[in-house]
Amino acid sequence: MNQFSELTAIRDELKTALSRLGFPSMTPVQAGTLPAALDGKDIMAQGQTGSGKTIAFALATLNTVTVNQFSTQVLVLCPTRELAAQVAQQYREVGQCMANLKVQTLCGGEPMGPQIQSLKHGAHVVVGTPGRILDHLQKRRLRLDGVTSRVLDEADRMLDMGFAEDVDAIFDAMPKGVQTLLFSATWTTGIQNMAARYLSQAHEFLAKEASTSNPDIEQRAFSVEEHTRVSILKGVLTTLQPAKAIIFCNTRRRVIEVTDALVAEGFSAAGLQGDMEQRERTEVLAQFAAEALSVLVATDVAARGLDIKDVDCVINVEVSEDVDTHTHRVGRTGRAGTKGLAVTLVAPSEQEQFAKIEAFSEIKIPMKGGPSIRFHGNRIKLPDYVCLHINAGKKQKLRPGDFLGSLVKDAELPADDIGKIQVQNAQSFVSIKTRSAKRALKLFREGKIKGKRVRARKLG
């Protein structure tokens, strides 16, 4: 069974949505979990970002939702705010034909007031991070006694981040016998113990063994001293000149240090780490997706779960602290059949850990001396686009086509000067070639979009 049309247990509204989204066939994780999940079984599945796991659990859980009953029936726990936002969006897309379906996101780092007001009106599906979910639960703003299905997404990362006790407390507030779907990239002892606590006679899906080294991803390494690490990083960037690069750091402090150094040198760079406010994180990710930012500097936790396409290369400023993390980092490039490149900077104190990564990956990563690569300030690659933030989105009934039509017709911009258009609930992001940015801003300042006045500003 590999076609969604073969799943006779799916309700008609979901089938219509799948057709609109253009999803005729299932990925392995979908084919391996959906039939059992639709039959009401608990699921323990191995699934990484990009495997199609979100569509799988969204379909399974939405299939049981009673829309005219305004209570929380589905709870999805995610380790990070960015992943929760992506999962909630997938639920809205899959459930687009279910009249009056309400999906609520509850994450830390966002204002509490709007969440409290939204909860007063009820939500069929709640997606969020364990800390904020538990906060609302303990203050009795959220009730979970009507939950019929629950999802643990990226459960291994939740354990790594210390959310085990929060998950226990949240699950204790639910009725017995709730269907549980657990998805994890790795099946560690901790995950096995979690499954034993929460799952009953679970259907298991284990991804087929895959090589830990993707042949479409070339890996290189450079030896560095601690004091030359950032200067050699600059040399790598001006030599490779990637349009989009993700730079991984082991700590938040290193993210700030590297970002500040790159920006001071003239690179188009921004950081992504846990101390940032949600608004800042959203805007940085929007710029990167819009190709208005060349370099994203991030910790593993901040970057986990992000679905970022067309990344030319990944650079590990430091050797990752475990083998799985290195594999996840490298897997950010070379997606969808494209060639990728991963570069790792290795200090003497990291040689032993780097050797473990090579042994696990069963490859020998060629290493050159760091001084062999030079920084050239005149070769810094800057993006062709800028990203505009607009204070209106889906709630104002705006769609990407509305922005595109106004920019081409009213502002007389060449269609080729308009890049990615991201329309979210209450805001939108529009990518515009730098040469046309002033004309676009003038349209938003003086004109209207679909009869509505909006405010716009350039990010970065």
Dump the DSSP string for 32-48: HHHHHHHTT--EEEE--
**258 and 397 both lie in a single domain:** no
Distances (CA, A) of 305 to 34, 133, 268: 21, 19, 23
Domain ranges, residue 171: 4-205
Mean pLDDT of 206-227: 76
**441 and 364 both lie in a single domain:** no
Distance CA 167, CA 160 (A): 13
Give residue-wise pLDDT tens across range 65-119. 999 998 999 999 999 888 898 899 999 999 999 999 999 999 988 889 999 999 9
**282 and 331 both lie in a single domain:** yes
* Confidence category of residue 412, pLDDT binned at 50, 70, 90: very high
Of 361, 198, 382, 211, nearest to 292 by C-alpha is: 382
CATH number, residue 447: 3.30.70.330
Mean pLDDT of 311-324: 90
Give residue-wise pLDDT tens across range 385-398. 999 999 999 889 99
- Kindly state whether residue 258 falls inside one of the protein's structural domains: yes
Mean pLDDT of the chain: 90
- Residue 2 has a CB neighbour count (10 Å cut-off) of 11
Mean pLDDT of 49-61: 87
Task: Provide the residue type at 297 as one letter.
Answer: V
Predicted local distance difference test score (pLDDT) of residue 209: 44
- Kindly state whether residue 130 falls inside one of the protein's structural domains: yes
- Kindly state whether residue 121 falls inside one of the protein's structural domains: yes
**343 and 405 both lie in a single domain:** no
Predicted local distance difference test score (pLDDT) of residue 304: 64
Query: Which of 337, 353, 379 finishes a domain?
Result: 379
**263 and 370 both lie in a single domain:** yes
25 vs 65 pLDDT, higher one: 65
- Kindly state whether residue 47 falls inside one of the protein's structural domains: yes
- Kindly state whether residue 12 falls inside one of the protein's structural domains: yes
Domain count, the chain: 3
Mean pLDDT of 261-288: 91
Predicted local distance difference test score (pLDDT) of residue 368: 94
Distance CA 2, CA 61 (A): 19
CATH number, residue 84: 3.40.50.300
Query: Which of 205, 225, 249 finishes a domain?
Result: 205
Query: Which of 379, 410, 427 finishes a domain?
Result: 379
Residue 248 has pLDDT above 80, yes or no: yes
Distance CA 85, CA 108 (A): 12
* Confidence category of residue 1, pLDDT binned at 50, 70, 90: low
**315 and 402 both lie in a single domain:** no
**332 and 315 both lie in a single domain:** yes
- Kindly state whether residue 437 falls inside one of the protein's structural domains: yes
In the chain, the largest separation of any two C-alpha atoms, in whole Å, equals: 66
**276 and 400 both lie in a single domain:** no
**192 and 54 both lie in a single domain:** yes
- Kindly state whether residue 22 falls inside one of the protein's structural domains: yes
**79 and 174 both lie in a single domain:** yes
Contacts of 201 (CB under 8 A, 6+ apart): 41, 42
**351 and 369 both lie in a single domain:** yes
* Confidence category of residue 174, pLDDT binned at 50, 70, 90: very high
Strands (E), 262-395: 269-272, 295-299, 313-316, 340-346, 367-369, 385-390
* Confidence category of residue 212, pLDDT binned at 50, 70, 90: very low
Residue 310 has pLDDT above 90, yes or no: no
**324 and 189 both lie in a single domain:** no
Residue 211 has pLDDT above 50, yes or no: no
- Kindly state whether residue 231 falls inside one of the protein's structural domains: yes
